[in-house]
């Protein structure tokens, strides 16, 4: 369940819905696959995936991420990096005391085992690979995929996005200050108070990382027919290309019934993957009883997910068991990141905190 700004922004990202000069081919927004269902819905690389490395010993000390001054971007004078991923923000967001919380959630989603390295090197490569607009010349300098942190999720970031591209940054995800609620993060969330930072940052990771690196598993487009979309088609009761406007538009047997018509098939896929994490990790357990959530996804507890949605559950359980060719986050995150300061894996990024 995303903010309007995020839905709008990511619609631009994914299907080339609007003619931005930097509209990519993959993402987690309103129409990742496009209503026409392109089978190439994610930004993939020609590099081969590598096998999952064994994790190093986990660390146990809190990390703090430095905030630096950014010049040349009106309204967004501050920047921090997490595993090389830029987060650009406003002064009010910086002064709210929430920045390290946001950075720590992103770090923990990427490094769920706290060994100081991004758990999946293929996800790392795809996220950090710079984005080059379609049709650009071979000499075009790529843009860093970036998280933008405005004061309010509903504030338009269009002007800032254009200016940011001139500085080498591509806005890939929006997260507002107001929807970032540390006291309700992770397992502390309730049916009336949740921290949207977890969902929005996971969309960034799974869109630019997992969906790009593992299209046969996490592809989101209508024609991808990935493990993810096949599972979702079952969860929705049948294969549905046009999002129903009412719950009655879904078969009675469905347990995933999102009715936001601006969220088309690819967006529905990415939202479904989020619900899998939320339920599997325990983050969603306390949301039961609020129809805002249960009318979208009924399986908010891990036991219910395991019993009813075996395919989605397996995507996460195989990762946790380390039998999958990929790594997804499976543990709850809450704004505390304990990862080692230095990643020992050759060629991999360290998180950049202290």
- Residue-wise pLDDT for 179-218, tens only, equals 999 999 999 999 999 999 999 999 999 999 999 999 999 9
Q: How far is CA 49 from CA 85, 95, 129, 226, 347, in A?
A: 20, 40, 14, 17, 15
Cα separation, 23 vs 40, whole angstroms: 14
Determine the pLDDT at residue 157. 85
> Is residue 129 situated within a structural domain?
yes
Ranges of the chain whose pLDDT falls below 50:
3-42, 44
> Is residue 267 situated within a structural domain?
yes
Determine the pLDDT at residue 130. 94
> Is residue 30 situated within a structural domain?
yes
Determine the pLDDT at residue 1. 62
Cα separation, 338 vs 23, whole angstroms: 35
Determine the pLDDT at residue 26. 32
Query: Is there a contact between 82 and 137 (Cβ–Cβ < 8 Å)?
Result: no
Quick check: helix, strand or coil at residue 183? Answer: helix
> Is residue 131 situated within a structural domain?
yes
Structure tokens at 250: 């879904």
Determine the pLDDT at residue 13. 43
pTM, two decimal places: 0.89
Please give the residue range of the domain that contains residue 99.
Answer: 4-320
Cα separation, 277 vs 333, whole angstroms: 11
- Antiparallel, parallel or unpaired: β 78-82 and 68-69: antiparallel
C-alpha closest to that of 286 among 180, 191, 186, 182? 191
Determine the pLDDT at residue 45. 53
Determine the pLDDT at residue 96. 97
Domains identified in the chain, total number: 1
> Is residue 20 situated within a structural domain?
yes
> Is residue 176 situated within a structural domain?
yes
> Is residue 40 situated within a structural domain?
yes
> Is residue 18 situated within a structural domain?
yes
Determine the pLDDT at residue 154. 83
């Amino acid at each position: 369940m995303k903010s309007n700004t995020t839905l709008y922004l990511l619609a631009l990202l994914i299907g080339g819905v609007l003619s931005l000069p930097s509209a990519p081919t993959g993402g987690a927004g309103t129409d990742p696959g496009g209503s026409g269902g392109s089978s190439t819905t994610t930004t993939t690389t020609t590099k081969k995936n590598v096998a999952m490395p064994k994790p190093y010993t986990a660390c146990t000390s809190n990390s703090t991420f430095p905030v630096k001054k950014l010049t040349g971007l009106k309204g967004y004078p501050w920047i921090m990096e997490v595993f090389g991923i830029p987060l650009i923000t406003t002064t009010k967001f910086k002064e709210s005391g929430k920045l390290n919380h946001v950075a720590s959630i992103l770090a923990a989603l990427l490094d769920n085992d706290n060994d100081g390295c991004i758990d999946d090197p293929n996800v790392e490569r795809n996220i950090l690979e710079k984005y080059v607009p379609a049709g650009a010349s071979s000499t075009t300098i790529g843009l860093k995929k970036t998280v933008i942190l405005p004061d309010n999720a509903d504030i338009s970031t269009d002007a800032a996005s254009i200016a940011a591209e001139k500085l080498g940054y591509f806005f890939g995800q929006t997260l507002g200050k107001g929807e970032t609620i540390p006291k309700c993060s992770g397992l502390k969330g309730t049916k009336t108070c949740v921290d949207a930072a977890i969902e929005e940052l996971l969309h960034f990771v799974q869109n630019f990382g997992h969906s790009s690196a593992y299209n046969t598993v996490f592809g989101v487009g209508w024609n991808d027919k990935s493990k993810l979309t096949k599972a979702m088609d079952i969860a929705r009761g049948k294969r549905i290309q046009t999002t129903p406007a009412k719950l009655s538009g879904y078969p009675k047997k469905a347990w995933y019934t999102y009715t936001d018509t601006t969220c088309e098939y690819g967006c529905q896929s990415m939202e479904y993957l989020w619900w899998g994490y939320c339920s599997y990790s325990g983050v969603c357990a306390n949301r039961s009883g609020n129809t805002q959530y249960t009318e979208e996804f009924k399986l908010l507890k891990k036991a219910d997910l395991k019993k009813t949605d075996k395919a989605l559950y397996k995507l996460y359980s195989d990762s946790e068991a380390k039998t999958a060719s990929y790594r997804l986050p499976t543990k709850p995150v809450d704004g505390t990141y304990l990862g080692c300061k230095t990643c020992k894996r050759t060629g991999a990024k360290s998180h950049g905190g202290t």
